[in-house]
Chain A
Amino acid sequence: MKGLLLTTLLFLIVLACYASPGTLNVQDVPWDEGKALNITWQTPADSIILQRADSLGVWQTIFSGPALPAAYSDRDLIPNQSYSYQLIAIGSADTDTLIVRASAKPREQWFYMHKLSFLIILVIVSLAILIYIQRARMGKEFYIRRISGLDSMEEAVGRATEKGKPILFVPGIGDLDDIQTIASLTILSQLAQRSAEYDTELIVPCRFSMVLSAAREVVKEAYLKVGKPDSYKEERIFYLTDDQFGYVAGIDGIMVREQPAANFFLGSFYAESLILAETGFSTGAIQTSGTAQASQLPFFVVSCDYTLIGEELFAASAYLSRDPQQLGSLKGHDFGKLLTIILILAGVITEIVGWHWFKAFFEGVQ
């Protein structure tokens, strides 16, 4: 009797294995905005057709091809809506075509788990900056290294004043939603104050209308601040064009015709950086540039007298204003650098030791 039962059970298992040659598994992608489902399947077939039912229940093909690697990620779905899928496993000529179905619902989560490492670093660096700002408020003085590109501002304005020629300030080709443009405008504020003090003309050609209105406001306030509102010339801060190379051609024309004594290229720059800097070099102007675009920095370094590299552009406002609170925030940057060095060293050591979880955590692998 026992033998018969065992044989029957074995027969049923073999039959089940033979009768279910295809499985389809649909799962919600974890820790996302609920717009994707992971679909996996198992089938002995060589090729498959994967279909999804649309809102009318009609099957629409979303994937057709080889059965391996048995996974597909369906994206751009609507969160919390149920989706049905069917897998058609196409067999060879002498075998049947199989159809298996499954459904699932993509769900919105409350946290991007793969960004946890970014959040931790952001919180630590932000806290450090806030602590240093607080310490600066309490009167603590911090040492900030000299940035020659910013120290040269006085020299550039002085030279333009002596020669009786204008200063050209280019706020980059980014719009106002680019942090480099914002950093550039904060430097423009300081430069405009100095040019107002010396009664030196300031030319600011803008690529975007939003930047134009912000630049006008910044320069106007700077002239007001030094008590020379009458010296402010709105028409010298003007819009050129939205087109990248049209903008470059316009600035090149200004440099050649008006021969500014000092050129400032600060902000976001791309392919036009060298064209601008070389034209400025050919006119003999003293040139200061700054950008966070690593690929454009070599061009500026070659053609300009002073270059603000990466973070120096963002530190400029604090450095020039000498506001203790802002200088305190620069110390926070330094803490961030120290943290980065420690993390890099720790990463190297853990990889050597074979603890790959450390690198995976900071890479955001789920």
Chain B
Amino acid sequence: MKRNLPLFFAFFCGLLVIVSEFIPHRPFSLMIDTLQEWFMIISGFAIILGQISLFQSNINKIKQKDSGWMFYLAGLISFILMLIVGMFWGTQETGGLFGHGAALQAKLGMKPFDYLFEFAYMPLSSTMFSLLAFFIASAAYRAFIIRSFESNLLMLTAVIVILGRTSFGSMLTGWLPQGLRFWHLPNLSDFIMEYPNSAAQRAIMISAALGIIGSSLRIILGIERSYLGSDK
């Protein structure tokens, strides 16, 4: 029963979603939205589970003085601080337990939660994202080292695309006559992106879509059960 009930739900809901994808009439047209709403409700309850896990794992690491325990402490303090200011004075238009905190708003220019979000969270998030630029450079360096025919080809293509997207590339081949406009770097770059690149991406997407159909069928029919914890 413990195993059969989830399998039955997976079969029933999976079939329902497939059917409602093709039938616009009620009640089928409303079912996907309803199931998504149910998922959101269950997710909402599961958040508590996440917070408990967050507290437990961080407190354990702080207690055991694991390497970098101060980072876990900083994480916990940040969590509690945001929770308190959010609960006390609310966020944006929503008030908290102590109203909107007019005095604090006058001092900070906005609510304490929004202030921390704007001036602590956002810069930190942007910093992480900006690391991507440096990682792209290091990854590109490794990818373009000439080792084989394929890496030669990759480097050549990358150089054309990079130059084609800059004004320097446009200047380099700007003198070409009308009959040779295809070899103008921006045009060549557009060609590579539009045809070979799109073709490869679509091939991956089509095969992934087939994989999704197969995976979904295995789950709906109960052949694939390891996501439930056991395949028995």
Cβ contact within 8 Å between A275 and B132: yes
A294-B204, A329-B218 known; A213 and B226 CB under 8 Å? no
Best-surrounded residue of B136, B214, B218 (most CB of chain A within 10 A): B214
List residues of chain B with CB within 8 A of the CB of A31.
24
- The segment from A20-28, A60-68, A141-149, A178-186 that touches chain B is A178-186
Nearest CB on A from B142, distance (A):
6
Task: Report the Cα distance A236→B25, complex, angstroms.
Answer: 47
Cβ contact within 8 Å between B129 and A218: no
Task: Report the Cα distance A309→B205, complex, angstroms.
Answer: 10
- The segment from A2-10, A96-104, A121-129 that touches chain B is A121-129
Cβ contact within 8 Å between B211 and A274: no
The answer, among A209, A235, A245, for a CB contact under 8 Å with B56, is A235
List residues of chain B with CB within 8 A of the CB of A238.
53-54, 56-57
B49 at the interface (CB under 8 A from A): yes
Cβ contact within 8 Å between A278 and B139: yes
List residues of chain B with CB within 8 A of the CB of A189.
226-227, 229, 231
Report, as a range, how many residues of chain B touch the other chain: 35 or more
A130 at the interface (CB under 8 A from B): yes
CB proximity to A under 8 Å, residues B183-232: 201, 204-208, 210-219, 221, 223-224, 226-231
Cβ contact within 8 Å between A292 and B212: yes
Task: Report the Cα distance A325→B132, complex, angstroms.
Answer: 42
Best-surrounded residue of A190, A311, A332, A336 (most CB of chain B within 10 A): A311
CB proximity to B under 8 Å, residues A149-191: 175, 177, 179, 182-183, 185-186, 189-190
A126-B217, A210-B46, A317-B224 known; A109 and B25 CB under 8 Å? yes
The A interface is mostly helix, strand or loop, or mixed, namely helix
B152 at the interface (CB under 8 A from A): no
B4 at the interface (CB under 8 A from A): no
B29 at the interface (CB under 8 A from A): yes
Nearest CB on B from A89, distance (A):
34
B47 at the interface (CB under 8 A from A): yes
Report, as a range, how many residues of chain A touch the other chain: 35 or more
Cβ contact within 8 Å between A130 and B217: yes
Count A/B pairs, Cβ under 8 Å. 208
List residues of chain A with CB within 8 A of the CB of B138.
278
Cβ contact within 8 Å between B226 and A239: no
A271 at the interface (CB under 8 A from B): yes
A313 at the interface (CB under 8 A from B): yes
Cβ contact within 8 Å between B227 and A214: yes
A197 at the interface (CB under 8 A from B): no
Cβ contact within 8 Å between A119 and B57: no
Closest to A311 in B: B211
A183-B215, A313-B211, A330-B214 known; A239 and B50 CB under 8 Å? yes
Best-surrounded residue of A119, A210, A242, A277 (most CB of chain B within 10 A): A210
A220 at the interface (CB under 8 A from B): yes
Cβ contact within 8 Å between B50 and A245: no
A209-B47, A238-B54, A245-B125 known; A220 and B208 CB under 8 Å? no
User: What are 6 A-to-B residue pairs whose CB atoms are below 8 Å?
Assistant: A31-B24, A183-B215, A210-B42, A303-B142, A311-B207, A340-B210
Q: Give A residues with C-beta under 8 Å from B.
A: 31-34, 79, 108-112, 115, 118-119, 122, 125-126, 129-130, 133, 175, 177, 179, 182-183, 185-186, 189-190, 206, 208-210, 212-214, 217-218, 220-221, 224-225, 235, 238-243, 245-246, 248-249, 253, 257, 271, 274-275, 277-278, 292, 294-295, 297, 299, 302-303, 309-315, 317-318, 321, 323, 325-326, 329-330, 332-333, 336-337, 340
